[in-house]
C-alpha cells in the first residue's frame, strides 16, 4: 500500500513539474514576440473632431485615505466640461462618505458635472456598482479608475484617439507605480505587473489574441459593455469576464502602453496575497464560465491556445505548489543513495522553468527603460513565487468549483515615494496561521536539500535550496507583519524594506 502511495506521489510530482515547465516555455514565447512588438509602438493620435461625452466612474468602498486624491485627479482631466461627467460610486460605510461628499462639492463648484451614487446594499460588489452607474451614465464612453489610482490630466487625450474604428470596444492604459521601490514586496510586484502589461498585453493585442481590461485605468465604449451582456457579479474578476464576453461578441480591445496611470501597490505581503487570491480565484471562475464556449467557436487556434494559458494560469500555482511538496515523497520511491537519479526529471523541469522565468524578467528589465531600476528584484521573483504558491493554488482550485464569493477589497494607505503612510498597516489580516503554514512547508521541503547533500547530487542543490528559501522568506515576512500589525507603516513591515 505504501509503495502504491509513493508511486502515485511520484507520478503527481512529474505531472506538476511538466506543467510548471510549460509555463516557463510560454513565458519565453511571449518574450520572443515582445522583442519584435516593442519596435512597433504606435505614435500619438489626434483627438477626434467631434468630442464625445465621457463618463468617469470611480467605484469606492471605505477608501478614506485615498478618495480625496482620486476625486481631485478625475476632476482635473483635460476634457471639455460639457463633455465630461464624473460618477462616484460610493458603497462606503465609514468616513469615506464625508470625504466623497466634500470632494464632489468642490468639483461641482468649479463647474464639473459630478455626482455621488449610493446603493442600499453592496449587492454585486464592484460589478453591481458599475452596473448601477452605467444605467444613469450619459456618456457614450466609460472610463473607470479604482481608488488607488491617480489618472493624469491627459489620460483622455491619450486614450480616446485609440478608438480608431467602431469595432474597438475598450482601450487599456498601462499601470505605473508610486511605491515600486519601497520594499522587496512592492519591487517584485512592480516588476511582474509591468511585464504583464508590456509583454502579455502588448503581444496579445498585437497578435490578434484575447487580452483583458484590468478593472481600472481604461475606457470602455458603452455600447460594447451593453452588447456583451453588461457587468456581472458571478465571478470575482468582473473585468476579465466582461473582456472575454465582449471579444467573443466581436468587439476588439486595444492596449496603449504609452499612457501610464500611477497607482499604489499593496505594501504588505498580506495584502498582496489577498489581492492575488481574488484575481486567481476569479480567473478560474471565468475559465469555467467562458472557456468551454470559446473553445467551441470558430476562432483561430492561436486565440484559443493563448486563452487557455491566460485563463488557466492558476494551474501554474497549483502545479508549483504540488511540485515542491511532493519532491521528498517522490525521492523515497527509489530508496536512499541510488535515488539521486530520481532527481533528474523533476530537477530538469523545475530548474529549467525557474531559469526561463529569471531569463524572462532579466531580459525584460534590462530592455525596457521604464523598469531598468527594478532589475535588482529579479533574483527574488522565484523565491516569492514559491512562497505564495500554496495560498494562490488554494484560491485557483476554489475558483474551479465555486462561483461568486466575497469581493475583499485591497486596503489602500495613500503611500507614495514622497509621502509617509497615512494609515497603519492592517497586517494582522495575515493570520499567524498563514505564516505557520509557510514554516511547516519550510521544514518539509528542507528534507530534499539534506538528501541532495547526502547523495552528492550537487546539480540539485540550487533547486533544493530555493524551495525552502522561498517558504522561509514568506513565513518570515508574514510573521513580522502579524507581530507588528498596527504599530508601524506598511513599508517597514518588510525586513527587506529600504
- pLDDT one-digit tens code per residue, 162-211: 998 899 999 999 999 999 999 999 999 999 999 999 999 999 999 999 99
Instruction: Quote the pLDDT of residue 395.
Output: 96
Residue with cell 547530487: 457
Instruction: Quote the pLDDT of residue 142.
Output: 98
Nearest to 12 by CA among 321, 322, 316: 322
Instruction: Quote the pLDDT of residue 423.
Output: 41
d(CA 378, CA 383): 10
Burial of 372 (0-12, 13-18, 19+ CB in 10 A): exposed
Tens of pLDDT along the chain (498 residues)? 466 777 777 788 888 888 888 888 999 999 999 998 887 666 666 677 789 999 999 999 999 999 999 999 999 999 999 999 999 999 999 999 999 999 999 999 999 999 999 999 999 999 999 999 999 999 999 999 999 999 999 999 999 999 988 999 999 999 999 999 999 999 999 999 999 999 999 999 999 999 999 999 999 999 999 999 999 999 999 999 999 999 999 999 999 999 999 999 999 999 999 999 999 999 999 999 999 999 999 999 999 999 999 999 999 999 999 988 887 776 665 544 445 555 566 566 666 677 788 889 999 999 999 999 999 999 999 999 999 999 999 999 999 998 877 777 777 787 544 333 444 444 454 467 889 999 999 998 887 777 666 665 666 677 778 889 999 999 999 998 887 665 544 444 454 555
Instruction: Quote the pLDDT of residue 394.
Output: 96
Task: Indicate whether this model's pTM tops 0.75.
Answer: yes
Which is the catalytic residue, given 90, 146, 148, 239?
Answer: 239
Kindly report the number of other CB atoms within 10 A of residue 153's CB atom. 12
Q: Is residue 91 annotated as a catalytic residue, yes or no? A: yes
Which is the catalytic residue, given 90, 91, 180, 241?
Answer: 91
Q: Is residue 148 annotated as a catalytic residue, yes or no? A: no
Nearest to 361 by CA among 388, 389, 382: 382
d(CA 494, CA 480): 8
Instruction: Quote the pLDDT of residue 167.
Output: 96
Instruction: Name residues whose C-beta falls within 8 Å of residue 346's C-beta, 6 or more positions apart in sequence.
Output: 13, 14, 17, 323, 327, 330
Amino acid at each position: 500500500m505504501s509503495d502504491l502511495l509513493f508511486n502515485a506521489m511520484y507520478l503527481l510530482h512529474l505531472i506538476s513539474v511538466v506543467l510548471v515547465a510549460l509555463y516557463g516555455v510560454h513565458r519565453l514565447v511571449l518574450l520572443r514576440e515582445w522583442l519584435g512588438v516593442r519596435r512597433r509602438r504606435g505614435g500619438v493620435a489626434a483627438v477626434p473632431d467631434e468630442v464625445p461625452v465621457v463618463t468617469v466612474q470611480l467605484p469606492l468602498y471605505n477608501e478614506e485615505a485615498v478618495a480625496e486624491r482620486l476625486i481631485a485627479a478625475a476632476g482635473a482631466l483635460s476634457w471639455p466640461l460639457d463633455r465630461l461627467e464624473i460618477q462616484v460610486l460610493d458603497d462606503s460605510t465609514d468616513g469615506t462618505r464625508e470625504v466623497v461628499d466634500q470632494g464632489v462639492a468642490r468639483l461641482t463648484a468649479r463647474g464639473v458635472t459630478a455626482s455621488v451614487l449610493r446603493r442600499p446594499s453592496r449587492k454585486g460588489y464592484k460589478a453591481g456598482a458599475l452596473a448601477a452607474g452605467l444605467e444613469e451614465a450619459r456618456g457614450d464612453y466609460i472610463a473607470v479608475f479604482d481608488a488607488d489610482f491617480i489618472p493624469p490630466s491627459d489620460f483622455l487625450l491619450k486614450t480616446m484617439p485609440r478608438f480608431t474604428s467602431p469595432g474597438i470596444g475598450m482601450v487599456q492604459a498601462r499601470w505605473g507605480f508610486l511605491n515600486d521601490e519601497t520594499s522587496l514586496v512592492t519591487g517584485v510586484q512592480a516588476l511582474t505587473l509591468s511585464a504583464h502589461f508590456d509583454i502579455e498585453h502588448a503581444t496579445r493585442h498585437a497578435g490578434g489574441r484575447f487580452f483583458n481590461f484590468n478593472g481600472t485605468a481604461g475606457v470602455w465604449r458603452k455600447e460594447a459593455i451593453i452588447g456583451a451582456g453588461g457587468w456581472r457579479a458571478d465571478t470575482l474578476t468582473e473585468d476579465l469576464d466582461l473582456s472575454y464576453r465582449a471579444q467573443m461578441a466581436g468587439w476588439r480591445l486595444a492596449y496603449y502602453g504609452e499612457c501610464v496611470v500611477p497607482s499604489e501597490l499593496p505594501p504588505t505581503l498580506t495584502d498582496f496575497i489577498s489581492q492575488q487570491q481574488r484575481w486567481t480565484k476569479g480567473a478560474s471562475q471565468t475559465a469555467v464560465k467562458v472557456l468551454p464556449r470559446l473553445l467551441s467557436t470558430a476562432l483561430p487556434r492561436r486565440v484559443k491556445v493563448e486563452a487557455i494559458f491566460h485563463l488557466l494560469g492558476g494551474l501554474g500555482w497549483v502545479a508549483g505548489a504540488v511540485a515542491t511538496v511532493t519532491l521528498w515523497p517522490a525521492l523515497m520511491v527509489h530508496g536512499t543513495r541510488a535515488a539521486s537519479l530520481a532527481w533528474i526529471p523533476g530537477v530538469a523541469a523545475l530548474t529549467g522553468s525557474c531559469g526561463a522565468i529569471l531569463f524572462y524578467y532579466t531580459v525584460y528589465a534590462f530592455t525596457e527603460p521604464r523598469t531598468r531600476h527594478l532589475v535588482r528584484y529579479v533574483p527574488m521573483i522565484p523565491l516569492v513565487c514559491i512562497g505564495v504558491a500554496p495560498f494562490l493554488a488554494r484560491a485557483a482550485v476554489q475558483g474551479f468549483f465555486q462561483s461568486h464569493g466575497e469581493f475583499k477589497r485591497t486596503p489602500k494607505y495613500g503611500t507614495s515615494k514622497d509621502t509617509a503612510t497615512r494609515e497603519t498597516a492592517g497586517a494582522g489580516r495575515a493570520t499567524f496561521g498563514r505564516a505557520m503554514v509557510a514554516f511547516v512547508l519550510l521544514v518539509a521541503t528542507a528534507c530534499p536539500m539534506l538528501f541532495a547533500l547526502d547523495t552528492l547530487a550537487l546539480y540539485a542543490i540550487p533547486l533544493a535550496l530555493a524551495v525552502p528559501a522561498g517558504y522561509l522568506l514568506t513565513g518570515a515576512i508574514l510573521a513580522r507583519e502579524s507581530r507588528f500589525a498596527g504599530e508601524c507603516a506598511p513599508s517597514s513591515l518588510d525586513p527587506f524594506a529600504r
